[in-house]
Amino acid sequence: MDASVSAVVTFDFQAWTVAQLDRVESALSKWVPADAPAGLGAAMRYAVLDGGKRLRPLLVMAAAEAAGAQAPAAARQRIDEAALRAACAVELIHAYSLVHDDMPCMDNDVLRRGKPTVHVKFGEARALLAGDALQALAFELLTPVDGCMSASVQAALCRLLARAAGHDGMAGGQAIDLASVGVALSEDQLRQMHRLKTGALLRGSVLMGVACDERAEAGATGVVQALTRYGDAMGLAFQVVDDILDVITDTATLGKTAGKDAAAAKPTYVSLLGLDRAKSYAQALYAQAIAALDAIGLDHAQTEALRALAGVVVHREK
């Protein structure tokens, strides 16, 4: 072999995913308490453990790796520790939102992740409290007292997560969704609803990964801006694909009730654009996400996980 030819190291996305998910699952199992009073712990753990794609935690971990790729070794260790807490925190917020969304006063769904929803299993009152407790626990994870995260990183992560989950994010989008049943929305109105309801937490996951690096606010502005564009594209692409899968996939594959959006007369990308145009739009958003990564200026290898996750979002089957 010609000595001038360098060996090409191929990124093993499956191995990376397994390693990250093992860490996240172990941490969630450790941090979500089983001994919360009056059966609350059981409901919390049921809502979080044993199921889910864990896309948001993976986005946190991948963004933290990309943003901190050029940090000194000691700094990378702190970034990694912060990223694990941020990954678990965003998954707790996601889990709480699903618990509340599935309740009779919201979407009234009985199946989630292939098993009965929390309110079906534990009753409405305990489900409501479990969601509340998961939300509080998320912010507890982001404010450790052992010195593993600086105060500035803690504040940045709490701010990003609160913004993504609140009135200008997930909760606001859900409010629009509930008010839009049977209403004909324009494409711009539908896009805004989903940027808040689904996209804000996915975008927030990416930005939380970036914020795990203390240098993020002081420098690396181009990286932050590019990853923001990536997060925006991924957040919207996820919802477009969700709308497509709700039409073309069965309940057993989805692990949740298929066809419920159409049955509830909710506006979706498929109902607005048609199936073929919705599929084309998902591909266009994928291209936007990859273009944003190309603009970062990092080596291709440093954004491999983010690139692979973009493919997972757009090409998933459930």
Cα separation, 29 vs 268, whole angstroms: 35
pLDDT of amino acid 2 = 42
pLDDT at 1 over 60: no
Q: Which of 110-133 are b and which e, b meaning 16 or more Cβ less than 10 Å from the residue's Cβ?
A: ebbbeeebbbbbbeeebbbbbbeb
Q: Of the candidates 284, 257, 258, 264, which has an alpha carbon nearest to the alpha carbon of residue 273?
A: 284
Q: How far apart are CA 307 and CA 310, in angstroms?
A: 5
**pLDDT > 90? residue 29:** yes
pLDDT digits (tens, 9 = 90+) for 208-225: 999 998 876 544 567 888
Q: Given pLDDT bands bounded at 50, 70 and 90, which one contains residue 267?
A: confident
C-alpha distance across the termini of the chain, in Å: 44
Alpha carbons 30 and 32: distance in angstroms, whole number: 6
Q: Is 36 helix (H, G, I), strand (E, B) or coil?
A: coil
User: Both tokens of residue 258?
Assistant: 């298929």
Averaged pLDDT, 73-81: 88
- Architecture of the CATH domain 3-315: Orthogonal Bundle (1.10)
- The answer to whether residues 22 and 167 touch, using CB atoms and an 8 Å cutoff, is no
Measured distance CA(81)–CA(142) in Å, rounded: 11
pLDDT band at 317 (very low <50, low <70, confident <90, very high): confident
Strands 115-116 and 111-112: antiparallel
CA distance 264 to 248: 17
Average pLDDT, the chain: 89
Of the listed ranges 20-24, 175-179, 249-253, the one predicted with least confidence: 249-253
Give the separation between CA 188 and CA 39, rounded to whole angstroms. 44
Kindly tell me if the per-residue pLDDT of 244 is higher than 90: yes
Give the range among 31-40, 212-221, 223-232 with minimum mean pLDDT: 212-221
Mean of pLDDT values over 259-265:
65
Question: What single DSSP character describes residue 8?
Answer: P
In percent, the amount of the chain with pLDDT more than 70 equals: 91
Q: Which of 140, 101, 124 has the alpha carbon at shortest distance from 43?
A: 124
Per-residue pLDDT at 9: 54
pLDDT at 156 (0 to 100) = 95
pTM value is 0.91
Percent of the chain with pLDDT over 90: 69
Residue 293 predicted with pLDDT over 80: yes
Q: Which of 169-173, 253-257, 297-301 has the lowest mean pLDDT?
A: 253-257
Q: Is a pLDDT exceeding 80 seen at residue 297?
A: no
Q: CA 314, CA 318: separation in Å to the nearest integer?
A: 10
Task: Report the pLDDT value the prediction gives residue 147, as an integer from 0 to 100.
Answer: 85
The amino acid at 56: R
Helix ranges (H only) for the chain are: 13-31, 40-48, 55-67, 73-101, 118-122, 124-141, 151-165, 170-179, 187-194, 200-211, 221-248, 251-254, 260-263, 269-273, 275-294, 304-315
Q: What is the pLDDT of residue 141?
A: 98
Residue 5 is predicted with a pLDDT of 40
What are the residues facing 129 on neighbouring strands? none
DSSP state of 37: G
Say which DSSP state 111 is in.
E
CA neighbours closer than 13 Å in the CB half-sphere of residue 256: 23
Which pLDDT belongs to residue 218?
Answer: 47
| Beta carbons of 20 and 14 less than 8 angstroms apart | no
B/e letters for 73-105, b = 16+ CB within 10 Å, e = fewer, are eeebebbeebbbbbbbbbbbbbbbbbbbbbbee
Question: pLDDT, tens digit, for every residue of 135-153?
Answer: 999 999 999 999 889 999 9
Residue bearing the bigger pLDDT, 259 or 168: 168
Q: Is residue 258 very low, low, confident or very high in pLDDT (cuts 50, 70, 90)?
A: low
